[in-house]
A = this chain, B = another copy of it.
Amino acid sequence: MAAARARPCSCESRETATLTTGNLADRVYAGDPRALARLLSMVEDGDELLPAVIKELKSPADGARVIGLTGSPGAGKSTVTSALIGVFRGRDLKTAVLAVDPTSPFSGGALLGDRVRMQEHATDPGVFIRSMGSRGQLGGLAAATPQAIRVLAAAGYQVILVETVGVGQAEVEVASTADSTVVLVVPGMGDSIQAAKAGVLEAADVLVVNKADRPDTQATVRDLRAMVALATSAWKPPIVTTVATSGEGVDELVRQLDRHWAWLADSGERDRRRLARARDEVEALAFGAVRGRLRVPDELAARVADGSRTPHEAAEELLASIGL
């Protein structure tokens, strides 16, 4: 994508000149996939024209049902995502996938393997699949994900599946912007313990043990059950076993997701989560703006490195330099 933007005479660039922020919003509303792709690139880049376009959209994220998927590498997130696309398309709901990769080097680019696994939906006009990278800014991704959800909802997508690569804290935060968060583990290899270590289980609304045709499945389910029993939250995450490649267990996963969706509405939790999401989004945007102004001058870094200034003293100087 970066390469396409760099070529001065590409179609996209020529088009850019004629796109006002107003008609870009209109075209997204009208369901133009190229306008949608362009607006999502603007979200990813933190484009300076973005605020004006978002204002035109005035789309509450409420329009869509957002489901997050996270879990260890190799747990089968893309296969489960692909199965869920099939289910929601069967209900005639327009479905979007946002595959978020909180690392810079692969930003914007789709992951080959994942694309392959979702290929069966590639020609369905009711499905939109998009990878999004952080472009090196963790704070940026925390702001970009809710904005991308906002844009996809405005474009008419009724279900948005947010899939994250990796199992760290940043990935959990991204997945947690969803209404319902699915955490996937695979049997054996201490995977469930590792997920607990990474704090991933606490974010789960539904737990999935995928590749449940493997020998250690029951032990993993037992481990998870023991951990869930310790939870003090009002919603106890159900544990579902799946073999996503064959579709086994996907119906039960969807049943549990529907049950959670109903619970969110009944309990008032849905509004609470969306309020929290709005707060996080605003904080991340404000934070990103501040980060742009907080650059440590070379000589100040050198003084900290040689020990003549403590890092705290240097931080105070830096804050004072922007009037804080």
Contacts and interface: CB of A to CB of B under 8 A. Distances in A.
Given A74-B194, A191-B73, A324-B323, A138 B278 contact: no
Nearest to A277: B305
| Best-buried of A198, A285, A310 by chain B (most CB within 10 Å) | A310
Contact of A300 (B51, B60, B172, B282): B282
Nearest to A107: B199
A116 interface: no
Interface string A45-70: 00000110011001110100000000
B169 A167 contact: no
A306 to B, nearest CB: 7
A282 B166 contact: no
A73 B198 contact: yes
Interface stretch (A87-95, A216-224, A235-243, A314-322): A314-322
Interface residues of A, number: 81
A4 interface: no
A302 interface: yes
A324 B249 CA distance: 52
Given A72-B73, A73-B197, A310-B54, A167 B166 contact: yes
Nearest to A323: B323
Given A310-B58, A311-B147, A197 B285 contact: no
| Best-buried of A102, A197, A274 by chain B (most CB within 10 Å) | A197
A179 interface: no
A230 to B, nearest CB: 11
Interface string A178-218: 00000000000111011101110010000000000000000
Contact of A324 (B51, B134, B199, B322): B322
Given A106-B199, A306-B60, A311-B278, A113 B168 contact: no
Contacts of A34: none
A191 to B, nearest CB: 7
22 contacts: A51-B310, A54-B311, A58-B307, A59-B307, A73-B167, A73-B191, A101-B197, A103-B197, A105-B202, A111-B197, A138-B138, A146-B311, A165-B197, A166-B198, A168-B168, A282-B301, A282-B318, A285-B312, A287-B287, A287-B291, A289-B324, A324-B324
In order of increasing CB-CB distance, the 8 nearest A-B pairs are A168-B168, A103-B199, A73-B194, A51-B312, A285-B315, A278-B304, A60-B307, A279-B301
